Amino acid sequence: MPDIPGIVKPDLHALPTVRERMTFLYVERCLVNRQDSAVTITDKRGTAYVPAASLGVLMLGPGTNVSHRAIELLGDSGSTVVWVGEHGVRYYAHGRPLTRSSRLIVKQAELVSNTRKRLAVARAMYQMRFPGEDVSRFTMQQLRGREGARIRSLYRKLSKKHGVPWKGREYNPTDFTDATPINQALSAAHVCLYGVVHSVIVALGCSPALGFVHDGHERSFVYDVADLYKAEMTIPIAFEVASTSSEDVGSVTRRKVRDAFYDGKIMERCAHDIRWLLLGDIADEEEDAWDFETMFLWDESHPAVEFGVSYGKELDVRLQTKESSNGVLVGV
């Protein structure tokens, strides 16, 4: 067979594990290309070389041009590519997930399809918001009530602290400007958070639609996870902006949220929290195995059946015997 020109694809087992990779790299206003096994990132300051196998997720921001060969390399290296807004605060589209295994999304589907298991995950999400409290016996109605009271108390506290009048969450989904400054700031901050969380979810290979608290929407799981961080990050920033900024509230809010996400390592935290919610205590133990492509055949009696095997050879003998007895010439 003649040699095919080009660079040989890397051996999957020779690639760095997820734990050894840079979790996310964000670029904007640059040209992304390929040189050998490295991704090149070129802008007016020069060219940077990033080993493709060291990347978990490459986030492409505004003004980015990417070549076909760069995408080919990233795909072969088990990396994912996510198209986002400025500094990753808006999600637009994504390429392949970081993991080549379907294990995480299968586990997500298993948990969300069983009422008892789904309730356990939902309780775990609320437990993260109520540290030191035992919510293991609370119903969803009770949990919603506790969360509503917590957020209303936070709004009142921040309103008093910053001197920002608060009359409730009121906004027009089709007209951003048709709202008070604080509601504009909240909308802008939450959109940023949703974009980052969506990027992490798809990079891990999970489904944005399979939520545990939220239901019936294509981004239900995005809203579930985003709610874990609102009280800590986006809501306080929104009140701060509304109290001090006379400029474009949306732009100022997005810049402050972007900086807070970077300082707070929100992407790394989000990835860890999602794994923990779905896999529990084994999340970190089995992270290394997710880089490798493993396929099995489903069986109702066994956990997994080997893929790539020609099954049923014992039937060939019986079929050939039957055909011979009927006077059919059998060629082997």
Residues 128 and 229 in one domain: yes
Is 36 a domain residue?
yes
Residues 169 and 258 in one domain: yes
Is 73 a domain residue?
yes
Cα–Cα dist 84/191, whole Å: 12
Residues 53 and 125 in one domain: no
Residues 58 and 175 in one domain: no
Q: Which residue from 9, 152, 26 is spatially nearest to 87, judged by alpha carbons?
A: 26
Q: Is-contact 60 168, C-beta < 8 A?
A: no
Residues 165 and 61 in one domain: no
306-311: long-range pairs with CB below 8 Å, 24+? none
**For 235-260, how does the pLDDT look when each residue is reduced to its tens digit (9 = 90+)?**
999 999 999 876 788 888 888 998 89
Q: Which residue from 33, 48, 83, 103 is spatially nearest to 290, judged by alpha carbons?
A: 103
149-154: long-range pairs with CB below 8 Å, 24+? 150/231, 151/230, 151/231, 151/235, 154/231, 154/235
pLDDT for 285:
58
Burial grade of 331 (CB within 10 A; 0-12, 13-18, 19 or more): exposed
pTM over 0.95: no
Q: Which residue from 168, 219, 217, 226 is spatially nearest to 197, judged by alpha carbons?
A: 226
Residues 134 and 75 in one domain: no
3-state class (DSSP) for residue 35? strand
Residues 6+ apart with CB under 8 A from 178: 171, 172
Range of the domain at 122: 103-282
Final residue before a domain boundary, out of 282, 304, 321:
282
pLDDT for 19:
41
Residues 80 and 228 in one domain: no
CA end-to-end span of the chain: 27
pLDDT for 316:
65
Residues 262 and 136 in one domain: yes
Is 293 a domain residue?
no
Tell me the angle at which helices 140-162 and 115-129 cross, rounded to the nearest 10 degrees: 20
Q: H/E element holding 123? A: helix 115-129
Residues 67 and 126 in one domain: no
pLDDT for 191:
85
Residues 66 and 158 in one domain: no
Per the DSSP assignment, residues forming a β-bridge with 91 are 84
* Residue 262: count of CB within 10 angstroms of its CB: 13
**For 13-60, how does the pLDDT look when each residue is reduced to its tens digit (9 = 90+)?**
434 444 444 456 888 999 999 999 899 999 999 999 998 877 767 889
pLDDT for 3:
47
- Which CATH number is 49's domain given? 3.100.10.20
Residues 178 and 275 in one domain: yes
Residue 265: left if φ>0, alpha if ψ -120 to 50, beta else—which one? Answer: left
Is 304 a domain residue?
no
Cα–Cα dist 139/261, whole Å: 32
Per the DSSP assignment, residues forming a β-bridge with 25 are 58
Is 7 a domain residue?
no
Is 261 a domain residue?
yes
Is 5 a domain residue?
no
Instruction: Walk along the chain (332 residues) and give the pLDDT tens digit of each residue.
Output: 444 444 444 444 434 444 444 456 888 999 999 999 899 999 999 999 998 877 767 889 899 999 999 999 988 877 778 888 876 667 777 776 766 778 899 999 999 999 999 999 999 999 999 888 899 999 999 999 999 999 999 999 999 999 999 998 887 777 777 788 999 899 889 988 888 888 888 888 899 999 999 999 999 999 999 999 999 999 999 999 999 876 788 888 888 998 898 888 888 899 899 999 999 877 665 554 444 456 677 777 776 777 667 777 666 666 666 666 665 554 54
Total count of domains within the chain: 2
Is 328 a domain residue?
no
- Which CATH number is 218's domain given? 1.20.120.920
Residues 23 and 169 in one domain: no
